[in-house]
Chains A and B, each alone.
Chain A
Amino acid sequence: MGRLLDQHFPVVALAPLIVALLVLTVYPALQLVRMAFSDVGIVSGGTTWTFVGLEHLRTLAEDRTARIAFTNTFIFTIVVVPIEAALGLLLAYLVNQTRTLGAFYKTVFIVPLLLPPIAIGALWRLMLDYNYGVVNQALLAIGIAGPPWLASPTLALPMVMLVDVWHWTSFMFLIFLAGVASIPQELGEAAEVDGATPWQVFAHVVLPILKPTIVVALMMRTILAFKVFDVPYLLTGGGPGTATEMINIYIEKVFFQQFRVGYGGMLTLLTALILSTFVIVYQQLSRRAEAAR
């Protein structure tokens, strides 16, 4: 018995974790798949599930708002993630070089990350309000009539992106700062002795070493950016019209305002599949980055 236990100890030790994982992850995922191919109705005292096959995919093909929401979310992700990464990396590199006030800059740059998204949404909404916002009041003071930042179909999405960049650059900054700080100073100094310019040190010493960190940071931010909900929801509610409609805002409407649980499940499943694709791509990139080191 003792020998049997010894032989299978890893399995026995992991069993509770595996059961917990199955209950908390696999079961909900299977339920989501079931939901995506069913119509879920409510009746007094319960719900009814009717298998509808690919019906929700047919609905999706005709759903103009879902197409707009997916497009907006892709555009949003493609724009904000590289900007946040570039700014975060630049700030991390510069702060790491700073001999004085380093702690001050670190504190200042991570403040946006510490604020709850609700507060960020409310804060920026007030600042960008057309009639009473501080931005337009300031512009008016110098004789410029500010535009309706959040009510214009051309400005609303860039404004949502701006707020997101303000919020999440600090996250990238924090990750990259840890990466940059762990690079031995001697490497840069040796390159400088060999005549490398600061830019060459950054491009040929710092960046290659940071590549795995960058890939992981990009993967995390891409996933989070694609799942964006709170800030656009609070700033614009997806409007004006559908100008800032993101897929998660639309899923919320489908689930909780329109009561279309099955269709909402299909949209969620599709979103999860897109995110899984991102993860696979980034994993490949990560492997290549590791191999290159």
Chain B
Amino acid sequence: MTFHRTLRWLTTLLVAFALAPSLGAAQQHPPITILINESPWLAGFEVLVDAYVAETGHEVELNVTPFPGMLQRSRNAVTASESEFDLINLNEQWYSLFYAGGLVTPILDIDPEFVLDPQVIEYAYATRWNPDIGYSTEDGALYGLPINGNIQLLFYRSDLFEEAGLSAPTTWDEVEAAAQVLHDPPSRIGLVTRTAPTDWEFQSYLRGYGGSVIEVDDDGQWRVGIADPAAVEALERYIQLNRDYGPANYASVSQAEALSLMQSGRAAMAHVVGAAAPNFENPELSTVQGLVQATIVPGPTADSRATMSGIWVMGIPENLPDARKQAALEFMRWALTFDAQMLYARAGAIPVRQDVYETLGQEDGFGWMQAMADSTPFINAQPRVAEAPQIITAFADQVAAALLGQVSAEEALQTAASEIHRIMVAGGYDVAPLD
């Protein structure tokens, strides 16, 4: 009896000793769950996660959600008593809601020693938030870490350009000159742009021409700039190029349609998201494999080119215990290293490091990454206030109406300006009256 009792006691002690380190480790590194969107770069993200798990032994679970459900799931997570996700993937168009509402944790609150590697591109400070003016600024606090570096590029058919003696366009005039030569509908169109929705691509024209949807000065006063003469000029150019050299349905081209026109060899140029590049090189999807090159999105002049940020950032919900926040940050710290980002990029994802773009840009099959690297100085921000989704809808609808020829460019932008002004006033911003 005594022997058995002693044996049981010893067994319990041994089991406790055996489990103690793993329990400690589990407490130090609790498993993390990441809310991630279903996308063409998901496979790359999965490779990244697998490598992290293999290297560290920490557990990571992915909750893959289609794009339309991402905002709602993120919102549900941060309003629960404790978030079910340790990292939420926030889109360019709505991260500001989460930063402004204090729904994600400032990174330095988790680790005061955290330093963002300067090679990590901040995409016009989509990573930061300045609560004093309610905007992403260079001196804002670090709230999110980029995980997908979507920007726009201009893709062009290198074989057709070479044949016609054309070089990669740097201005919209050069785009038009090339389109005049290569536009031969219905077998081939000169330029295809995603126009459904209109907002993202149009903004590269807008910023290139020196316009802006909204802007804030150093004193925190806002101004709605979307009806300025520069903006009208930008919209007129955007309409003219797409109407004259686009497909017959130029006013309602979805991303899938724009890509399929390029992949099937029916477009000479495409102004679309840089992440489309792997599609053109995929022999199962593309008939123009090896014939598509990329360059920076043109502008009115080569010096005033602009590409728009459309990135995803990872945020760590505020409603998490410290250990989970630490574990989430540890994953992101690792995911942003050069080696991890190289792995990520090779697996088909869109990295966020300048040195990765520059390194891979020299390799066969990754030439478009050099265009991504070259585009970094031209990256511009979309409106980044908590009301951004409303503002974007307001001008996207008007740009679409102008593109359809229902109203003039000037009328469309004036209507958009009034609507945006109303939204800003209702949001409590100090906004200058409309001109």
Q: Which residues of A contact B (CB under 8 A)?
A: 41-47, 59, 62, 64-65, 129-132, 145, 147-148, 150-153, 236-237, 239-243, 253, 256-260
Contacts and interface: CB of A to CB of B under 8 A. Distances in A.
Would you call the interface of chain A mostly helix, strand, loop, or mixed?
Answer: loop
Given A150-B252, A151-B249, A240-B400, A42 B103 contact: yes
Contacts of A260: 390
Contacts of A239: 196-197, 252, 400
A241 B400 contact: yes
Given A59-B426, A259-B389, A240 B251 contact: yes
Contact of A46 (B79, B257, B260): B79
Interface string B238-279: 000000000111011100010011000010000000000000
A46 B75 CA distance: 10
Contacts of A150: 249, 252
Contacts of A62: 422
Contacts of B72: 256
Given A62-B422, A258-B389, A43 B252 contact: no
Given A42-B103, A240-B400, A258-B393, A151 B252 contact: yes
Given A65-B397, A150-B252, A151-B252, A41 B101 contact: yes
Nearest to B189: A131
A153 B248 CA distance: 13
Interface string B52-68: 00000000000000001
Contacts of B260: 131-132
A44 B426 contact: no
Contact of A65 (B248, B249, B393): B393
B173 interface: no
Given A148-B252, A151-B251, A257-B393, A131 B266 contact: yes
Given A43-B101, A259-B389, 13 more contacts: A44-B102, A44-B103, A45-B81, A130-B249, A132-B260, A145-B186, A148-B252, A150-B252, A240-B404, A257-B71, A257-B393, A258-B389, A259-B75
A153 B393 contact: no
A195 B97 CA distance: 74
Contacts of B261: 131
A262 B415 CA distance: 24
B101 A42 contact: yes
Given A59-B426, A153-B406, A257-B71, A42 B390 contact: no
Nearest to B186: A145
Contacts of A153: 404, 406
Contacts of B389: 257-259
B17 to A, nearest CB: 39
A241 B401 contact: yes
Which 9 pairs, one residue from A and one from B, show the smallest C-beta to C-beta distance? Answer: A151-B252, A148-B249, A151-B249, A241-B400, A44-B318, A240-B252, A130-B249, A258-B389, A45-B319
A41 B101 CA distance: 9
A47 B78 CA distance: 10
B94 interface: yes
B228 interface: no
Nearest to A55: B426
Contacts of A42: 75, 78-79, 97, 101, 103
Nearest to B386: A259
B3 to A, nearest CB: 54
Given A47-B79, A131-B260, A259-B389, A241 B406 contact: yes
Interface in B132-162: none
Interface string B210-254: 000000000000000000000000000000000000011101110
Contacts of B102: 43-44
B358 interface: no
Nearest to A41: B101
A258 B251 contact: no
B80 interface: yes
A242 B397 contact: yes
B317 interface: yes
Given A62-B422, A239-B400, A256-B68, A44 B393 contact: no
Nearest to A238: B397
Contacts of B281: none
Nearest to B185: A145
B54 to A, nearest CB: 34
Contacts of A256: 68, 71-72
B422 to A, nearest CB: 6
Q: Select the residue from B251, B419, B426 with max chain A CB neighbours within 10 A.
A: B251
